Structure 1
Amino acid sequence: MEKLNINSMIKSNQDVLVPRFGLGVWKSKPKECYSAVISALKAGYRHIDTAAIYGNESEVGDAIRDSGIPRSEIFLVTKLWNADQGYDSALKAIDRSLSNLKTDYVDMYLIHFPVADKRKDSWRALQKIQSDKKTKAIGVSNYMIWHLEELINETEVLPAMNQVEYHPFLNNNELLSFCNSKGIILEAYSPLAHGQKLNDPKVSELAKKYNKSNAQILIRWSLQKGMVVIPKSANPERIVQNADVYDFEINAADMVSMESWDEGLRTCWDPTTVE
Protein backbone atom coordinates (compact mmCIF):
# COMPACT_ATOMS: atom_id res chain seq x y z
CA MET A 1 0.00 0.00 0.00
CA GLU A 2 1.24 3.48 -0.86
CA LYS A 3 2.31 5.63 2.06
CA LEU A 4 -0.46 8.19 2.48
CA ASN A 5 -0.19 11.71 3.87
CA ILE A 6 -2.42 14.77 4.02
CA ASN A 7 -0.98 15.92 0.68
CA SER A 8 -1.72 12.64 -1.14
CA MET A 9 -3.46 13.14 -4.48
CA ILE A 10 -5.34 11.03 -6.97
CA LYS A 11 -5.42 11.85 -10.66
CA SER A 12 -8.87 12.08 -12.18
CA ASN A 13 -9.85 10.89 -15.65
CA GLN A 14 -9.93 14.59 -16.60
CA ASP A 15 -6.25 14.96 -15.68
CA VAL A 16 -6.94 17.02 -12.56
CA LEU A 17 -5.20 16.08 -9.31
CA VAL A 18 -7.63 15.71 -6.39
CA PRO A 19 -6.42 15.79 -2.77
CA ARG A 20 -7.43 12.52 -1.10
CA PHE A 21 -8.50 14.29 2.10
CA GLY A 22 -10.67 17.36 2.58
CA LEU A 23 -13.21 19.24 4.67
CA GLY A 24 -16.94 19.04 4.09
CA VAL A 25 -19.06 21.98 5.24
CA TRP A 26 -22.61 20.65 4.89
CA LYS A 27 -24.84 22.08 7.65
CA SER A 28 -22.04 24.38 8.83
CA LYS A 29 -23.65 27.70 9.72
CA PRO A 30 -21.98 30.72 8.09
CA LYS A 31 -19.89 31.91 11.06
CA GLU A 32 -18.80 28.42 12.10
CA CYS A 33 -18.13 27.53 8.46
CA TYR A 34 -15.67 30.41 8.14
CA SER A 35 -13.84 29.31 11.30
CA ALA A 36 -13.86 25.66 10.22
CA VAL A 37 -12.28 26.43 6.85
CA ILE A 38 -9.66 28.65 8.47
CA SER A 39 -8.86 25.88 10.98
CA ALA A 40 -8.70 23.23 8.28
CA LEU A 41 -6.39 25.20 6.02
CA LYS A 42 -4.15 25.97 8.99
CA ALA A 43 -4.05 22.23 9.77
CA GLY A 44 -2.87 21.40 6.25
CA TYR A 45 -6.14 20.64 4.47
CA ARG A 46 -6.14 21.75 0.85
CA HIS A 47 -9.51 20.40 -0.29
CA ILE A 48 -12.72 22.23 0.65
CA ASP A 49 -16.15 20.92 -0.37
CA THR A 50 -19.24 23.14 -0.34
CA ALA A 51 -22.45 23.52 -2.36
CA ALA A 52 -24.89 26.23 -3.38
CA ILE A 53 -27.64 24.77 -1.20
CA TYR A 54 -25.43 24.83 1.91
CA GLY A 55 -25.75 28.62 2.06
CA ASN A 56 -22.11 29.07 3.08
CA GLU A 57 -20.23 29.54 -0.21
CA SER A 58 -19.56 33.17 0.69
CA GLU A 59 -17.97 32.22 4.02
CA VAL A 60 -15.84 29.57 2.31
CA GLY A 61 -14.65 32.21 -0.14
CA ASP A 62 -13.90 34.66 2.68
CA ALA A 63 -11.93 32.05 4.59
CA ILE A 64 -9.86 31.05 1.57
CA ARG A 65 -9.09 34.71 0.88
CA ASP A 66 -8.22 35.46 4.51
CA SER A 67 -6.12 32.31 4.97
CA GLY A 68 -3.25 33.79 3.01
CA ILE A 69 -2.86 30.52 1.11
CA PRO A 70 -2.72 31.00 -2.67
CA ARG A 71 -5.98 30.05 -4.38
CA SER A 72 -4.01 27.80 -6.73
CA GLU A 73 -3.00 25.58 -3.81
CA ILE A 74 -6.58 24.91 -2.70
CA PHE A 75 -8.88 22.36 -4.35
CA LEU A 76 -12.35 23.94 -4.20
CA VAL A 77 -15.55 22.04 -4.93
CA THR A 78 -19.13 23.27 -5.19
CA LYS A 79 -22.32 21.79 -6.59
CA LEU A 80 -25.28 22.53 -8.82
CA TRP A 81 -28.46 22.41 -6.76
CA ASN A 82 -31.60 20.58 -7.90
CA ALA A 83 -33.70 23.71 -8.47
CA ASP A 84 -30.99 25.09 -10.77
CA GLN A 85 -30.72 22.02 -12.95
CA GLY A 86 -31.26 22.36 -16.69
CA TYR A 87 -28.98 23.90 -19.29
CA ASP A 88 -29.58 27.63 -19.03
CA SER A 89 -30.22 27.67 -15.29
CA ALA A 90 -27.02 25.72 -14.61
CA LEU A 91 -24.99 28.28 -16.57
CA LYS A 92 -26.43 31.01 -14.34
CA ALA A 93 -25.94 28.95 -11.17
CA ILE A 94 -22.18 28.59 -11.60
CA ASP A 95 -21.82 32.35 -11.96
CA ARG A 96 -23.69 32.89 -8.68
CA SER A 97 -21.48 30.33 -6.97
CA LEU A 98 -18.29 31.87 -8.31
CA SER A 99 -19.46 35.30 -7.15
CA ASN A 100 -20.21 33.95 -3.66
CA LEU A 101 -16.87 32.12 -3.53
CA LYS A 102 -15.02 35.22 -4.76
CA THR A 103 -13.10 33.26 -7.37
CA ASP A 104 -13.18 32.96 -11.13
CA TYR A 105 -13.07 29.17 -11.14
CA VAL A 106 -13.66 26.09 -9.03
CA ASP A 107 -11.58 22.96 -9.25
CA MET A 108 -14.57 20.60 -9.40
CA TYR A 109 -18.23 21.32 -10.16
CA LEU A 110 -20.71 18.56 -9.40
CA ILE A 111 -24.35 17.85 -10.20
CA HIS A 112 -25.66 17.54 -6.66
CA PHE A 113 -28.37 14.92 -7.27
CA PRO A 114 -29.64 12.91 -10.28
CA VAL A 115 -32.81 14.92 -10.94
CA ALA A 116 -34.99 13.06 -13.44
CA ASP A 117 -35.56 14.78 -16.81
CA LYS A 118 -32.97 17.49 -16.08
CA ARG A 119 -29.68 15.75 -15.38
CA LYS A 120 -28.82 15.24 -19.07
CA ASP A 121 -29.20 18.96 -19.85
CA SER A 122 -27.32 19.78 -16.66
CA TRP A 123 -24.39 17.63 -17.79
CA ARG A 124 -24.30 19.43 -21.14
CA ALA A 125 -24.14 22.69 -19.20
CA LEU A 126 -21.30 21.42 -17.03
CA GLN A 127 -19.31 20.60 -20.15
CA LYS A 128 -19.85 24.17 -21.35
CA ILE A 129 -18.83 25.49 -17.92
CA GLN A 130 -15.65 23.42 -18.12
CA SER A 131 -14.85 24.60 -21.64
CA ASP A 132 -15.36 28.18 -20.43
CA LYS A 133 -12.71 27.45 -17.74
CA LYS A 134 -15.08 28.21 -14.88
CA THR A 135 -14.23 24.77 -13.50
CA LYS A 136 -11.25 22.52 -14.04
CA ALA A 137 -13.20 19.28 -13.71
CA ILE A 138 -16.82 18.16 -13.66
CA GLY A 139 -18.55 15.32 -11.88
CA VAL A 140 -21.65 14.13 -10.09
CA SER A 141 -22.96 13.39 -6.62
CA ASN A 142 -25.39 10.77 -5.34
CA TYR A 143 -25.31 8.84 -8.64
CA MET A 144 -26.00 5.15 -8.55
CA ILE A 145 -24.73 2.74 -11.20
CA TRP A 146 -27.77 3.16 -13.47
CA HIS A 147 -27.46 6.95 -13.34
CA LEU A 148 -23.80 6.65 -14.31
CA GLU A 149 -24.57 4.18 -17.10
CA GLU A 150 -27.16 6.57 -18.52
CA LEU A 151 -24.64 9.40 -18.45
CA ILE A 152 -21.86 7.32 -19.98
CA ASN A 153 -24.18 6.31 -22.84
CA GLU A 154 -25.09 9.95 -23.50
CA THR A 155 -21.69 11.62 -23.45
CA GLU A 156 -18.04 11.26 -24.33
CA VAL A 157 -17.04 13.14 -21.16
CA LEU A 158 -17.01 10.81 -18.16
CA PRO A 159 -17.53 12.39 -14.74
CA ALA A 160 -14.25 12.85 -12.90
CA MET A 161 -15.89 12.13 -9.55
CA ASN A 162 -18.98 10.61 -7.96
CA GLN A 163 -19.53 11.87 -4.43
CA VAL A 164 -21.77 9.59 -2.36
CA GLU A 165 -22.45 8.70 1.25
CA TYR A 166 -19.97 5.95 2.07
CA HIS A 167 -18.80 4.38 5.34
CA PRO A 168 -18.44 0.83 6.70
CA PHE A 169 -22.16 0.72 7.51
CA LEU A 170 -23.07 1.73 3.94
CA ASN A 171 -20.42 -0.13 2.00
CA ASN A 172 -21.49 -0.22 -1.64
CA ASN A 173 -18.66 -2.23 -3.14
CA GLU A 174 -20.57 -2.72 -6.40
CA LEU A 175 -20.71 1.04 -6.93
CA LEU A 176 -17.07 1.43 -5.90
CA SER A 177 -15.98 -1.27 -8.35
CA PHE A 178 -18.03 0.27 -11.17
CA CYS A 179 -16.53 3.70 -10.58
CA ASN A 180 -13.03 2.24 -10.41
CA SER A 181 -13.60 0.40 -13.70
CA LYS A 182 -14.51 3.68 -15.40
CA GLY A 183 -11.77 5.76 -13.82
CA ILE A 184 -14.33 7.73 -11.82
CA ILE A 185 -13.09 8.84 -8.40
CA LEU A 186 -15.44 7.79 -5.61
CA GLU A 187 -15.55 10.40 -2.88
CA ALA A 188 -16.99 9.47 0.51
CA TYR A 189 -19.17 12.07 2.15
CA SER A 190 -20.52 11.49 5.65
CA PRO A 191 -17.66 9.01 6.30
CA LEU A 192 -18.59 9.16 10.00
CA ALA A 193 -22.26 8.29 9.28
CA HIS A 194 -23.24 11.60 10.91
CA GLY A 195 -22.03 10.21 14.20
CA GLN A 196 -24.80 7.62 14.29
CA LYS A 197 -22.31 4.75 14.48
CA LEU A 198 -19.38 6.59 15.99
CA ASN A 199 -19.70 4.75 19.30
CA ASP A 200 -20.54 1.38 17.82
CA PRO A 201 -18.71 -1.26 19.90
CA LYS A 202 -16.98 -2.64 16.81
CA VAL A 203 -15.53 0.79 16.02
CA SER A 204 -14.55 1.34 19.65
CA GLU A 205 -12.75 -2.00 19.76
CA LEU A 206 -10.56 -1.10 16.80
CA ALA A 207 -9.99 2.42 18.11
CA LYS A 208 -8.64 0.93 21.32
CA LYS A 209 -6.50 -1.57 19.42
CA TYR A 210 -4.85 1.12 17.27
CA ASN A 211 -4.86 3.79 19.97
CA LYS A 212 -6.85 6.10 17.73
CA SER A 213 -10.22 7.85 17.95
CA ASN A 214 -13.32 6.16 16.59
CA ALA A 215 -13.55 8.83 13.90
CA GLN A 216 -9.95 8.22 12.85
CA ILE A 217 -10.69 4.52 12.34
CA LEU A 218 -13.62 5.27 10.03
CA ILE A 219 -11.68 7.90 8.06
CA ARG A 220 -8.64 5.66 7.66
CA TRP A 221 -10.89 2.84 6.39
CA SER A 222 -12.18 5.05 3.55
CA LEU A 223 -8.67 6.15 2.65
CA GLN A 224 -7.37 2.58 2.55
CA LYS A 225 -10.24 1.61 0.25
CA GLY A 226 -8.85 4.14 -2.21
CA MET A 227 -11.49 6.81 -1.84
CA VAL A 228 -11.32 10.56 -1.42
CA VAL A 229 -12.81 11.39 1.99
CA ILE A 230 -14.28 14.66 3.27
CA PRO A 231 -15.24 14.47 6.97
CA LYS A 232 -17.26 17.42 8.25
CA SER A 233 -16.53 19.16 11.53
CA ALA A 234 -16.84 22.70 12.87
CA ASN A 235 -14.73 21.93 15.94
CA PRO A 236 -11.08 23.07 15.49
CA GLU A 237 -9.69 20.26 17.66
CA ARG A 238 -11.64 17.59 15.79
CA ILE A 239 -10.64 19.11 12.46
CA VAL A 240 -7.00 18.57 13.45
CA GLN A 241 -7.73 15.13 14.90
CA ASN A 242 -9.60 13.96 11.79
CA ALA A 243 -6.48 14.64 9.75
CA ASP A 244 -4.23 12.69 12.11
CA VAL A 245 -4.71 9.39 10.30
CA TYR A 246 -1.38 8.94 8.55
CA ASP A 247 0.75 7.38 11.27
CA PHE A 248 -1.03 4.02 11.32
CA GLU A 249 -2.56 1.46 8.98
CA ILE A 250 -5.53 -0.83 9.56
CA ASN A 251 -4.25 -4.33 8.95
CA ALA A 252 -5.68 -6.62 6.29
CA ALA A 253 -7.62 -8.82 8.71
CA ASP A 254 -9.34 -5.84 10.31
CA MET A 255 -10.14 -4.34 6.90
CA VAL A 256 -11.81 -7.65 5.97
CA SER A 257 -13.74 -7.61 9.24
CA MET A 258 -14.94 -4.05 8.59
CA GLU A 259 -16.24 -5.17 5.20
CA SER A 260 -18.87 -7.21 7.05
CA TRP A 261 -20.30 -4.21 8.90
CA ASP A 262 -22.47 -3.06 6.01
CA GLU A 263 -26.13 -2.70 6.96
CA GLY A 264 -27.32 -0.30 4.26
CA LEU A 265 -27.45 2.59 6.70
CA ARG A 266 -28.25 5.85 4.90
CA THR A 267 -28.04 8.95 7.05
CA CYS A 268 -28.75 11.33 4.15
CA TRP A 269 -31.06 11.21 1.14
CA ASP A 270 -31.67 8.03 -0.81
CA PRO A 271 -30.77 8.27 -4.52
CA THR A 272 -31.72 4.61 -5.11
CA THR A 273 -35.35 5.73 -5.44
CA VAL A 274 -34.59 7.97 -8.44
CA GLU A 275 -35.06 6.33 -11.84
Structure 2
Amino acid sequence: MINILNEKYIMNNNLEIPKVGLGTYKLTNELEGVELIKAAITAGYRLIDTAKVYENHKIIARAIKECDVKRKDLFITSKIWNKDHKYEDAKLAIDTILNELELDYIDLILVHWPTKYRNECYKALEEAVEEGKVKSIGVSNYQKHHIEELISICKIKPVINQIELHPALRNQEVVNTCKKHNILVESWGTMIRGKCFEIEQIKKLALKYNKSEPQICLRWAYQNGYVIIPKTSKPSRVVENTMIYDFQLNDEDIDLINSINEFRDGPDPDNFNF
Protein backbone atom coordinates (compact mmCIF):
# COMPACT_ATOMS: atom_id res chain seq x y z
CA MET A 1 0.00 0.00 0.00
CA ILE A 2 1.23 3.49 -0.84
CA ASN A 3 1.81 5.60 2.26
CA ILE A 4 2.19 9.27 1.49
CA LEU A 5 3.37 9.81 5.07
CA ASN A 6 6.70 8.32 3.99
CA GLU A 7 7.15 10.79 1.16
CA LYS A 8 9.43 13.82 1.53
CA TYR A 9 10.52 16.95 -0.27
CA ILE A 10 14.12 18.17 -0.31
CA MET A 11 14.37 21.78 0.83
CA ASN A 12 16.82 24.32 -0.58
CA ASN A 13 19.24 23.60 2.28
CA ASN A 14 19.29 19.90 1.25
CA LEU A 15 17.37 18.78 4.34
CA GLU A 16 14.14 16.81 4.00
CA ILE A 17 10.61 17.63 5.10
CA PRO A 18 7.63 15.22 5.02
CA LYS A 19 5.08 16.03 2.34
CA VAL A 20 2.24 15.52 4.82
CA GLY A 21 2.04 16.54 8.46
CA LEU A 22 -0.35 17.19 11.32
CA GLY A 23 -1.65 20.70 11.94
CA THR A 24 -2.35 21.46 15.60
CA TYR A 25 -4.12 24.84 15.53
CA LYS A 26 -6.78 25.00 18.31
CA LEU A 27 -5.52 21.72 19.78
CA THR A 28 -5.42 22.99 23.37
CA ASN A 29 -7.21 20.34 25.44
CA GLU A 30 -4.33 18.41 26.99
CA LEU A 31 -5.94 14.96 27.18
CA GLU A 32 -7.52 15.11 23.73
CA GLY A 33 -4.43 16.73 22.23
CA VAL A 34 -2.00 14.15 23.57
CA GLU A 35 -4.18 11.28 22.37
CA LEU A 36 -4.65 12.81 18.92
CA ILE A 37 -0.94 13.47 18.42
CA LYS A 38 -0.08 9.97 19.64
CA ALA A 39 -2.63 8.53 17.21
CA ALA A 40 -1.08 10.55 14.39
CA ILE A 41 2.46 9.43 15.21
CA THR A 42 1.28 5.83 15.48
CA ALA A 43 -0.37 6.19 12.06
CA GLY A 44 2.95 7.32 10.60
CA TYR A 45 2.87 11.12 10.80
CA ARG A 46 6.31 12.57 11.44
CA LEU A 47 5.74 16.27 10.73
CA ILE A 48 3.96 18.16 13.50
CA ASP A 49 3.14 21.82 12.87
CA THR A 50 2.56 24.16 15.80
CA ALA A 51 3.16 27.79 16.81
CA LYS A 52 3.85 29.77 19.94
CA VAL A 53 0.42 31.38 19.75
CA TYR A 54 -1.33 27.96 19.62
CA GLU A 55 -0.33 27.43 23.27
CA ASN A 56 0.10 23.67 22.86
CA HIS A 57 3.87 23.16 22.87
CA LYS A 58 3.70 21.36 26.21
CA ILE A 59 0.93 19.07 24.92
CA ILE A 60 3.12 18.15 21.96
CA ALA A 61 6.12 17.59 24.25
CA ARG A 62 4.11 15.17 26.39
CA ALA A 63 2.79 13.28 23.36
CA ILE A 64 6.28 12.88 21.93
CA LYS A 65 7.59 11.54 25.22
CA GLU A 66 4.77 8.99 25.37
CA CYS A 67 5.48 7.70 21.85
CA ASP A 68 8.13 5.19 20.91
CA VAL A 69 9.70 7.26 18.15
CA LYS A 70 13.21 8.62 17.83
CA ARG A 71 13.71 12.39 17.87
CA LYS A 72 15.65 12.28 14.58
CA ASP A 73 12.61 10.75 12.87
CA LEU A 74 10.33 13.64 13.83
CA PHE A 75 10.05 16.99 12.09
CA ILE A 76 8.75 19.72 14.39
CA THR A 77 7.71 23.13 13.05
CA SER A 78 6.87 26.14 15.19
CA LYS A 79 6.39 29.84 14.52
CA ILE A 80 7.25 33.09 16.29
CA TRP A 81 4.17 35.16 17.00
CA ASN A 82 3.86 38.77 15.92
CA LYS A 83 4.40 40.47 19.28
CA ASP A 84 7.81 38.78 19.53
CA HIS A 85 9.23 39.93 16.21
CA LYS A 86 11.65 42.55 17.55
CA TYR A 87 15.15 41.09 17.57
CA GLU A 88 15.62 40.57 21.33
CA ASP A 89 12.05 39.33 21.76
CA ALA A 90 12.53 36.87 18.91
CA LYS A 91 15.74 35.54 20.48
CA LEU A 92 13.88 34.94 23.72
CA ALA A 93 10.91 33.37 21.90
CA ILE A 94 13.19 30.81 20.23
CA ASP A 95 14.52 29.70 23.62
CA THR A 96 10.99 29.60 25.04
CA ILE A 97 9.83 27.37 22.18
CA LEU A 98 12.74 24.99 22.77
CA ASN A 99 12.00 24.84 26.49
CA GLU A 100 8.26 24.30 26.06
CA LEU A 101 8.76 21.54 23.50
CA GLU A 102 11.56 20.06 25.65
CA LEU A 103 13.77 19.66 22.59
CA ASP A 104 17.45 20.33 21.92
CA TYR A 105 16.65 21.75 18.49
CA ILE A 106 13.66 22.62 16.32
CA ASP A 107 13.55 21.33 12.76
CA LEU A 108 11.88 24.44 11.37
CA ILE A 109 10.84 27.82 12.78
CA LEU A 110 8.86 30.37 10.79
CA VAL A 111 8.14 34.08 11.05
CA HIS A 112 4.38 33.73 11.62
CA TRP A 113 3.18 36.89 9.81
CA PRO A 114 5.03 39.63 7.91
CA THR A 115 4.84 42.39 10.53
CA LYS A 116 6.93 45.54 10.32
CA TYR A 117 9.59 43.88 12.51
CA ARG A 118 9.72 40.75 10.36
CA ASN A 119 13.32 41.30 9.29
CA GLU A 120 14.51 41.61 12.89
CA CYS A 121 12.78 38.32 13.64
CA TYR A 122 14.36 36.65 10.63
CA LYS A 123 17.82 37.84 11.69
CA ALA A 124 17.27 36.14 15.06
CA LEU A 125 16.28 32.95 13.24
CA GLU A 126 19.42 33.05 11.12
CA GLU A 127 21.51 33.30 14.27
CA ALA A 128 19.57 30.39 15.80
CA VAL A 129 20.62 28.25 12.83
CA GLU A 130 24.25 29.24 13.36
CA GLU A 131 23.89 28.37 17.08
CA GLY A 132 22.43 24.93 16.31
CA LYS A 133 19.06 25.67 17.92
CA VAL A 134 17.17 25.44 14.64
CA LYS A 135 17.84 23.29 11.57
CA SER A 136 15.81 25.24 9.00
CA ILE A 137 14.04 28.58 8.89
CA GLY A 138 11.24 29.99 6.81
CA VAL A 139 8.28 32.32 6.69
CA SER A 140 4.53 32.21 6.84
CA ASN A 141 1.87 34.31 5.13
CA TYR A 142 4.44 36.20 3.04
CA GLN A 143 3.23 37.84 -0.12
CA LYS A 144 5.34 38.33 -3.24
CA HIS A 145 6.82 41.66 -2.12
CA HIS A 146 7.69 40.28 1.33
CA ILE A 147 9.56 37.38 -0.24
CA GLU A 148 11.43 39.56 -2.73
CA GLU A 149 12.47 41.92 0.06
CA LEU A 150 13.71 39.09 2.26
CA ILE A 151 15.65 37.43 -0.54
CA SER A 152 17.49 40.70 -1.13
CA ILE A 153 18.76 40.98 2.47
CA CYS A 154 18.88 37.51 4.05
CA LYS A 155 22.00 35.44 4.71
CA ILE A 156 20.03 32.17 4.82
CA LYS A 157 17.30 31.69 2.25
CA PRO A 158 13.90 30.64 3.70
CA VAL A 159 13.19 26.99 2.94
CA ILE A 160 9.42 27.35 2.97
CA ASN A 161 6.52 29.79 2.90
CA GLN A 162 3.41 28.58 4.69
CA ILE A 163 0.37 30.38 3.27
CA GLU A 164 -3.39 30.17 3.10
CA LEU A 165 -3.79 27.98 0.05
CA HIS A 166 -6.78 25.96 -1.08
CA PRO A 167 -9.04 25.42 -4.11
CA ALA A 168 -10.78 28.72 -3.36
CA LEU A 169 -7.49 30.65 -2.98
CA ARG A 170 -4.96 29.37 -5.49
CA ASN A 171 -2.60 32.27 -4.65
CA GLN A 172 -0.70 31.80 -7.90
CA GLU A 173 1.42 34.94 -7.69
CA VAL A 174 2.89 33.89 -4.35
CA VAL A 175 3.31 30.28 -5.49
CA ASN A 176 5.18 31.42 -8.61
CA THR A 177 7.43 33.70 -6.56
CA CYS A 178 8.33 30.85 -4.22
CA LYS A 179 9.10 28.54 -7.14
CA LYS A 180 11.30 31.24 -8.70
CA HIS A 181 13.44 31.30 -5.54
CA ASN A 182 13.34 27.52 -4.86
CA ILE A 183 11.22 27.99 -1.74
CA LEU A 184 8.76 25.22 -0.90
CA VAL A 185 5.11 26.15 -0.52
CA GLU A 186 3.12 24.86 2.45
CA SER A 187 -0.65 25.06 2.54
CA TRP A 188 -2.65 26.04 5.58
CA GLY A 189 -6.43 26.12 5.54
CA THR A 190 -6.30 23.50 2.79
CA MET A 191 -9.87 22.41 3.53
CA ILE A 192 -11.01 26.04 3.63
CA ARG A 193 -11.70 25.65 7.35
CA GLY A 194 -14.74 23.51 6.65
CA LYS A 195 -16.19 25.65 3.88
CA CYS A 196 -15.22 22.99 1.32
CA PHE A 197 -18.55 21.28 2.07
CA GLU A 198 -20.39 24.34 0.72
CA ILE A 199 -18.64 24.70 -2.65
CA GLU A 200 -20.44 23.04 -5.54
CA GLN A 201 -17.35 22.28 -7.62
CA ILE A 202 -15.70 20.44 -4.72
CA LYS A 203 -18.91 18.60 -3.88
CA LYS A 204 -19.13 17.46 -7.51
CA LEU A 205 -15.59 16.06 -7.45
CA ALA A 206 -16.18 14.34 -4.11
CA LEU A 207 -19.15 12.54 -5.64
CA LYS A 208 -17.18 11.68 -8.78
CA TYR A 209 -14.31 10.02 -6.89
CA ASN A 210 -16.31 8.75 -3.90
CA LYS A 211 -14.14 10.84 -1.59
CA SER A 212 -14.89 13.45 1.04
CA GLU A 213 -14.71 17.14 0.22
CA PRO A 214 -11.63 17.55 2.50
CA GLN A 215 -9.91 14.73 0.62
CA ILE A 216 -10.50 16.52 -2.69
CA CYS A 217 -8.89 19.68 -1.29
CA LEU A 218 -5.95 17.75 0.13
CA ARG A 219 -5.42 15.86 -3.12
CA TRP A 220 -5.43 19.17 -5.02
CA ALA A 221 -2.70 20.59 -2.77
CA TYR A 222 -0.68 17.36 -2.73
CA GLN A 223 -0.88 17.06 -6.50
CA ASN A 224 0.39 20.64 -6.84
CA GLY A 225 3.49 19.80 -4.84
CA TYR A 226 2.59 21.68 -1.67
CA VAL A 227 3.39 20.50 1.85
CA ILE A 228 0.04 19.86 3.55
CA ILE A 229 -0.72 19.92 7.28
CA PRO A 230 -4.39 18.94 7.71
CA LYS A 231 -5.70 19.42 11.22
CA THR A 232 -8.50 17.56 12.91
CA SER A 233 -9.78 17.00 16.43
CA LYS A 234 -10.93 13.47 15.60
CA PRO A 235 -8.44 10.55 15.61
CA SER A 236 -10.49 8.77 12.92
CA ARG A 237 -9.80 11.64 10.51
CA VAL A 238 -6.06 11.41 11.10
CA VAL A 239 -5.87 8.40 8.77
CA GLU A 240 -8.68 9.53 6.46
CA ASN A 241 -6.76 12.71 5.64
CA THR A 242 -3.92 10.62 4.20
CA MET A 243 -6.13 8.44 1.98
CA ILE A 244 -5.63 10.55 -1.12
CA TYR A 245 -3.15 8.41 -3.07
CA ASP A 246 -5.65 6.22 -4.96
CA PHE A 247 -7.08 8.84 -7.30
CA GLN A 248 -5.79 11.74 -9.37
CA LEU A 249 -7.46 14.95 -10.45
CA ASN A 250 -7.34 15.29 -14.24
CA ASP A 251 -7.18 18.42 -16.37
CA GLU A 252 -10.96 18.68 -16.49
CA ASP A 253 -11.10 18.48 -12.69
CA ILE A 254 -8.45 21.18 -12.36
CA ASP A 255 -10.39 23.43 -14.74
CA LEU A 256 -13.46 22.91 -12.56
CA ILE A 257 -11.51 23.87 -9.43
CA ASN A 258 -10.10 26.92 -11.21
CA SER A 259 -13.66 28.05 -11.87
CA ILE A 260 -14.22 28.57 -8.13
CA ASN A 261 -14.39 32.26 -7.30
CA GLU A 262 -11.34 32.99 -5.16
CA PHE A 263 -11.71 34.32 -1.63
CA ARG A 264 -9.43 34.66 1.38
CA ASP A 265 -10.84 32.94 4.47
CA GLY A 266 -8.11 34.09 6.85
CA PRO A 267 -6.54 37.50 7.55
CA ASP A 268 -4.98 39.66 4.85
CA PRO A 269 -1.20 39.38 5.32
CA ASP A 270 -0.71 43.01 4.32
CA ASN A 271 -3.08 44.26 7.00
CA PHE A 272 -2.81 41.93 9.96
CA ASN A 273 -1.63 42.60 13.49
CA PHE A 274 0.87 45.35 12.89
TM-score range, shorter chain: over 0.9
- Aligned-pair distance for 1:262? 4.0
Aligned twin of 2:45? 45
Aligned twin of 2:165? 166
* 2:254 match: secondary structure: helix
- Please list the CA deviations of residues 73-115 of structure 1 after superposition, one character each: whole Å capped at 9, or x if unmatched: 1110001111111211111111111111111111101000111
- Aligned-pair distance for 1:43? 1.3
- Aligned-pair distance for 1:4? 7.6
Aligned twin of 2:268? 270
* 1:107 match: secondary structure: strand
Query: Which one is further off, 54-63 or 200-209?
Result: 200-209
> 2-side partners of 1:80 and 1:48: how far apart?
16
- Aligned-pair distance for 1:256? 2.6
* 2:220 match: secondary structure: helix
The verdict on how the C-alpha distance between 1:242 and 1:141 changes in structure 2, with shifts beyond 3 A counting, is: same
Aligned length: 271
Fraction of identical pairs, as percent: 37
Partners of 2:196 and 2:213 within 8 A in 1 = no
Structure 2: gaps (5+ residues) = none
Aligned twin of 2:57? 57
Aligned twin of 1:75? 75
Partners of 2:164 and 2:189 within 8 A in 1 = yes
RMSD: 1.5
Structural mapping, 1:223-242, within 5 Å: 223-242=222-241
State TM-score, norm by structure 2.
0.95
Q: 1:57 is matched by which residue type in structure 2? A: H
State TM-score, norm by structure 1.
0.94
- Please list the CA deviations of residues 26-78 of structure 1 after superposition, one character each: whole Å capped at 9, or x if unmatched: 11123232222111111111110000110001101111111111111111000
- Aligned-pair distance for 1:127? 0.4
The verdict on how the C-alpha distance between 1:257 and 1:189 changes in structure 2, with shifts beyond 3 A counting, is: same
Partners of 1:171 and 1:262 within 8 A in 2 = no
> 2-side partners of 1:256 and 1:74: how far apart?
37
Query: Which one is further off, 26-35 or 96-105?
Result: 26-35
Structure 1: gaps (5+ residues) = none
Q: 2:73 is matched by which residue type in structure 1? A: E
The verdict on how the C-alpha distance between 1:68 and 1:7 changes in structure 2, with shifts beyond 3 A counting, is: same
Q: 1:241 is matched by which residue type in structure 2? A: E
Partners of 1:169 and 1:261 within 8 A in 2 = yes
Q: 2:35 is matched by which residue type in structure 1? A: S
